[in-house]
């Protein structure tokens, strides 16, 4: 869904950039001008330019059936190297203490298992293995599944959330509300899967909606609910760091490395395809990027 929304955004922007001409009337040179303008005038990051290129490759290859050739002379966006924002354990404790439920439980799961906010909010009941203290993340970034730990501190609140959710699920079943987001192939095989408890969201939305077929459905809690609550808690704490929900994932990785965890293990838990992505957390450890002591401390 997120990829689809991003591709639609870039395709629309590409069409508007060229005076609303149809993409069939545009070619590789027009794609090159658009992407170069993003880098030169827009000064976007390299990852943003790559995302726009991926959207246009999909447009021409999968939609229009005329794949783009390799584009020579493209002005690349400047690739910046940044150090992720990381909270101390004391700051994490203070942040969690100021969050209301169920946002607090979401934040605990994100920090306790390195989850992205979208992965946390889209969790279904069947993805939780409380006995093994494990969370199974389905179809994460890049379409990969992975397993991550369920922190002991989350268990009591999670079990309470599931008890409340089961009562809400039964109420929804009585009035014919179904869950959304299931693959069409799964629904063809199991027609009532979207009306069963294992497929229910752990964090369901407070309101239902009517889909295109006229069925009443319930989505998961919207990301802005969590984001706004975290932003308010950060303001209340007076933190000067730029803290978002993703900062909890950065803090999870950094604190694991500080406690002596192997970087390959952290890579697996985060779901990174390249260990170089995980290596950026070695630059924010308490002992410093190279494990050296500042000469100022010896004065």
Q: Give me the pLDDT at residue 83, please.
A: 78
Is residue 268 pLDDT above 90, yes or no? no
Residue 72 pLDDT exceeds 80: no
Name the band, by pLDDT with cuts 50, 70 and 90, for residue 294: low
CA 65 to CA 23: how far, in whole Å?
12
- Cα separation, 281 vs 246, in Å, equals 14
Give the residue with greater pLDDT, 81 vs 85. Answer: 85
Which domains does the chain possess?
A: 2-63 (1.10.150.130)
What pLDDT score does 160 carry? 94
Nearest CA to 173 among 205, 128, 218, 213? 218
Site of tokens 């998961």 = 220
Token pair listed for 175: 């009035």
Give the per-residue pLDDT at 214.
87
- Counting residues of the chain whose pLDDT is more than 90, the rounded percentage is 53
Q: What is the pLDDT of residue 247?
A: 93
Q: What is the pLDDT of residue 45?
A: 83
Residue 292's pLDDT band (boundaries 50, 70, 90)? low
Is 286's pLDDT higher than 60? no
Q: What is the DSSP string of 67-107?
A: -----TT--PPP----PPP---HHHHHHHHHTPPTTHHHHH
pLDDT per residue as tens digits for the range 6-57: 999 999 999 999 999 999 888 888 888 898 888 888 888 888 888 999 999 9
Q: Catalogue the active-site residues.
A: 116, 141, 246, 249, 272, 281
Local confidence band at 115 (pLDDT 50, 70, 90 cut-offs): very high
Q: What is the mean pLDDT of the chain?
A: 87
Terminal Cα-to-Cα distance of the chain (whole angstroms): 56
DSSP for 110-123, written as a single string: HHHHT--HHHHHT-
Residue pLDDT, tens place only, 164-198: 999 999 999 999 999 998 888 888 888 889 899 99
The sheet that has 216-220: what strands, in order across it?
178-179, 216-220, 204-210
pLDDT digits (tens, 9 = 90+) for 122-166: 999 999 999 999 999 887 676 778 899 999 999 999 999 999 999
* pLDDT at residue 99 is higher than 80: yes
């Amino acid at each position: 869904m997120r990829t689809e929304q991003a591709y639609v955004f870039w395709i629309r922007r590409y069409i508007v950039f060229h005076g609303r001409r149809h993409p069939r009337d545009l070619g590789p040179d027009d794609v090159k001008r658009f992407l170069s303008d993003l880098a030169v005038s827009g000064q976007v990051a390299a990852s943003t330019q790559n995302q726009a290129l991926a959207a246009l490759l999909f447009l021409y290859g999968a939609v229009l059936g005329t794949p783009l050739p390799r584009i020579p002379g493209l002005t690349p966006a400047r690739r910046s190297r940044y150090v992720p924002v990381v909270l101390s354990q004391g700051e994490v404790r203070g942040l969690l203490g100021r969050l209301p439920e169920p946002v607090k439980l979401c934040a605990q799961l994100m920090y306790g298992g390195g989850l992205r906010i979208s992965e946390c909010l889209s969790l279904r009941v069947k993805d939780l293995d409380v006995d093994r203290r494990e969370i199974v993340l389905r179809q994460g970034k890049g379409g990969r599944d992975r397993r991550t730990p369920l922190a002991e501190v989350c268990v009591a609140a999670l079990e309470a959330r599931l008890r409340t959710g089961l009562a809400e699920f039964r109420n929804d079943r009585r009035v014919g509300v179904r869950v959304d987001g299931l693959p069409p192939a799964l629904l063809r095989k199991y027609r009532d899967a979207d009306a069963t408890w294992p497929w229910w969201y752990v964090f369901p939305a407070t309101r239902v909606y009517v889909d295109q077929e006229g069925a009443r459905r319930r989505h998961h809690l919207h990301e802005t609910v969590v984001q706004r609550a975290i932003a308010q808690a950060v303001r209340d704490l007076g933190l000067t760091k730029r803290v978002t929900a993703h900062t909890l994932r950065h803090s999870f990785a950094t604190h694991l490395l500080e406690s002596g965890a192997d970087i390959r293990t952290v890579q697996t838990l985060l779901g990174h395809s390249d260990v170089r992505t995980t290596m950026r957390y070695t630059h924010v450890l308490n002992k410093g990027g190279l494990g050296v002591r500042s000469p100022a401390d010896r004065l």
